[in-house]
Amino acid sequence: MAELGTLVEKVRSKNAGPFWLTVDIFCGSPEAFARVTTGLETARVAHLFGVEPQAMKRFDIPDLNVVKLSVPRPVVQGTRADRDMHGAGWAVLVEEMEIA
Amino acid sequence: MTRVLIPTGALGLGYDRAALSRGIANRPDIIAVDGGSTDSGPSYLGRGVSKYSRTSTKAEWRGLMQARAEAGVPLVIGTAGTCGADSAVDWLLEITREIAAETGQTLRVATLKSGQSAAAVKAALAEGRIAPLFPAPDISEALIDACSNIVALAGAEQIAGALATGADIVIAGRTTDTAIIAALPLVSGDHPGACWHGAKIGECGAIATTQPATGVIQIDFDATGFTMEPMALTAAATPYTVSAHMLYENSDPFVLHEPGGHLDVTGARYTALDARRVRVEGSEWIKGDYTVKLEGARVAGYQTVALALLRDRRYVRHAREWAADVQARVAAQIVERMGLAPEDFTLELRLIGMDATLGPLENRTTTPVEVGVLGIVTCPTEAQAAEAGKMLNPYLLHHALTENEPMPTFAFPFSPAEMQRGALYEFCLNHVMRLDDPMSAFRLDVHEVGHG
């Protein structure tokens, strides 16, 4: 097991418009990409984000060694319950995940 | 071939002046710059104002107006003043007039306004021309009436219309990020898939290069594709930096919806021409219905916030229970003394240093040196929010963990301790509106500027 953030170059999360959140995992090499694509369970990310697993869209993009996860924002951007206007803080939940 | 010079990802973010000069020397056909996005939240659209300072905006716009005069080509800005509301277009037009007067320029300026009246949107709703995207709030006449601003995102057709007036400068309200870049190449007959794909890659300036902060890039569009080159000599575009930009702020990295169709980059091929330039071919434009996306913001209450700092070790250790106790006591007092029902207001204490970013999703625990207690009260009126915020004050300052201890005092960074934030806005539309005539929802005006 290892923390995902130690295996990849960068994890970034951002709004994709006010109603969506998108997380990009830049793996940096085919080896890291292979490890992340096999070790990363979408359902676990959904659990960490507090959303239903079927709400998550996942794109494994070998040309870029990137795994992308998109989900309707659990809290719409800027509403009173929103804590993170640009959605940047969600990345740490993925970065700090332990994966096989 | 159409050459588009993009000075920066957004007016207000700055750009490298030497790189801009290099771009001008390359004789572009147009200079296109983005002026905003929803990314800073609903308040800007709600109020119809820019998030950047007028001073910075004017300084950067002056530089672009001078570059335009030198190049003798149109300068177009989309989503002026962060939100692209009509008032933000007027704001930038006023800045443009000032600069023209100060620099002795005479100009034709076209303004394209994207603001939608509640009546027009309600009519479209009644005619069945409005459809929800996913996820969308429920739409109703009452919701439309509640919006302080509604804008429609213009596409390439409306920008082309503005350019066709012979304008030296186009100040557009809300547009898609890509429309201002794609418009002229599309009119010139360049490859439609390339026009939209290149526009998406270029919309954030040099973000799709190895040196995002340099800002300035140039994109050449032609019959089969596009070529991107950063104008700062130290920056490089590589197949990786260019193709990875489709990920940026986009929920689907292969598809981008625009008025009148969508871009599909599944078949795109990215080739390095040399160490700094990338050629892209193979992206496709698929025509569809002519719809424009709507954005709306409405007032969702009024807020007062206060910040207190816990540094005492015992209070830091027990911050969560302390905050819960303060929250419960002050909420009860707001109900009792102000007569508000519990469902009419919210009172939250976010613990900075513990879980303020992620809230219930935070899964790390540690004992911090200090804890910032951010009190946020949201009420139906501004006066109520001010009153409720003041009720928080004595508790944030002195509330003790137990009854049997001397009265503690915590650190307040400010006097007054409360900060009134005014209206809390929220985005309340995620819908598209079908148009039979692309211009029908937009207003184009021509202004002769600087003629004494």
Q: How many CA atoms lie within 13 A of B247 on its CB side?
A: 28
CB contact under 8 A, B253 and A68: yes
The percentage of chain B sitting over the pLDDT mark of 90, rounded to a whole number, equals: 99
Nearest Cα of chain A lies from the Cα of B405 at a distance, in angstroms, of 34
CB contact under 8 A, A19 and B136: yes
Residues of B within 8 A of A79 (CB-CB) are: 300, 426
Instruction: Give the model confidence (pLDDT) of B203-247 as tens digits.
Output: 999 999 999 999 999 999 999 999 999 999 999 999 999 999 999
CB contact under 8 A, B357 and A17: no
Nearest Cα of chain B lies from the Cα of A76 at a distance, in angstroms, of 8
Q: How many CA atoms lie within 13 A of A94 on its CB side?
A: 30
Residues of chain B in Cβ contact (below 8 Å) with chain A = 38-43, 133-137, 240, 243-244, 247-254, 295, 300-301, 303, 346, 350, 356-361, 363-364, 376, 378, 424-427, 430
What is the pTM (predicted TM-score) of this model?
Answer: 0.97
Domain B299-428 has CATH 3.40.50.2020: no
Q: What is the pLDDT of residue B18?
A: 97
Instruction: Give the model confidence (pLDDT) of A40-54 as tens digits.
Output: 999 999 999 999 999
Supply the ipTM of this predicted assembly: 0.96
pLDDT at B452 over 70: no
- Cα–Cα distance for residue pair B442/B112, rounded to 1 Å: 7
Domain that holds residue A28: 2-99
CB contact under 8 A, A14 and B40: no
Q: Scanning the structure block, which residue is given the tokens 């911090």?
A: B368
User: Please, what sign has the CA dihedral across residues B193, B196, B201, B205?
Assistant: positive
If you measure CA to CA, which chain B residue comes closest to A56? B251
Nearest Cα of chain B lies from the Cα of A74 at a distance, in angstroms, of 11
**pLDDT mean over B63-92:** 98
CB contact under 8 A, A63 and B243: yes
Instruction: Give the model confidence (pLDDT) of B7-57 as tens digits.
Output: 999 999 999 999 999 999 999 999 999 999 999 999 999 999 999 999 999
**pLDDT mean over B131-155:** 97
Q: What is the pLDDT of residue B280?
A: 98
Q: What is the pLDDT of residue B317?
A: 97
Q: Please, are residues B127 and B408 in contact by the beta-carbon 8 Å criterion?
A: no
pLDDT at B451 over 90: no
Nearest Cα of chain A lies from the Cα of B151 at a distance, in angstroms, of 14
Domain ranges of chain B: 2-114+153-290+435-450, 299-428
